[in-house]
Amino acid sequence: MDEPRTAIVLAGGDIVDPDVIEDLPHDGFNVAADSGLDQALALGLEVDLIVGDMDSVSPEALSAYHEVPIELHPTDKDQTDLELALRAAIRMGVDRIIIVGGSGGRLDHFLANALLISSVDFSEVDVEWLTGDARLHVVHGTARLHCAPGRQVSLLAVHGPARGVQTDGFRWELTDEDLLPGATRGVSNIFEKPVATVSVREGTLLAIMTGDMSV
């Protein structure tokens, strides 16, 4: 059997809008990060692997997916359940990861997760994160972003400067510009086209889209 090309990693926190299922592939490898199994249950998704220390998943979710293999980790560990689930997905040889959920109200978790998905450890795969009313897309090289015209998008440099940033499809275009971590140069741009292109010659960007993503 061919290796799956896309992994869906289900995270805990607030249950996402069920309409998100329409944007998810149906032939990927689904990994639940601990209470992300409750996310899977609420969305009616199949799960291929459960990863974590199992300290926050509900008994109902565990019962519903009792036949799914569990990669169990100790509670006292150095990585979050989400990081462990992402690494499990990488081991499957996928080239795209879509993270669903993970907005649980803790700012430290949100910031840690945003920095995690944009780290160099995952630079060889295309990573998206659907959380709350936002979609985050990590840009290494070139990315095509789909969103309804008129919606906001912010481009943030992470883990160092983003050099040679080029955009096409936004109200205010960037042409071979540098974005620095902590600067607000790329905040609150607007989609002018349903599909926009963002490229970076050197470094990493987080493209953060908010509101209705439908095209």
In a domain? residue 215: no
Task: Give the pairing type, strands 177-179 and 134-139.
Answer: unpaired
Cα–Cα distance, 2 to 19 (Å, whole number): 28
Give dist(CA 94, CA 108) in Å, integer: 28
89, 104, 93: which is closest to 35 by C-alpha?
A: 104
Q: Binning pLDDT at 50, 70 and 90, where does residue 174 land?
A: very high
Q: Which of 66, 100, 132 is the last residue in one of the domains? A: 132
Q: Which CATH number is 165's domain given?
A: 2.60.120.320
Q: Are residues 43 and 128 in the same domain?
A: yes
Given a contact cutoff of 8 angstroms between Cβ atoms, the answer to whether 38 and 12 are in contact is yes
Residues 63 and 161 in one domain: no
Determine which helix (DSSP H) or strand (DSSP E) holds 38, and give its type and residue range.
Answer: helix 36-43
Question: Which range marks the domain in which residue 146 is found?
Answer: 142-210
pLDDT in tens, 51-60: 999 999 999 9
> Considering its fold, how many domains does the chain have in total?
2
Percent of the chain whose pLDDT exceeds 90: 77
Q: Determine the Cα–Cα distance for residues 44 and 16; give it in Å rounded to an integer.
A: 12
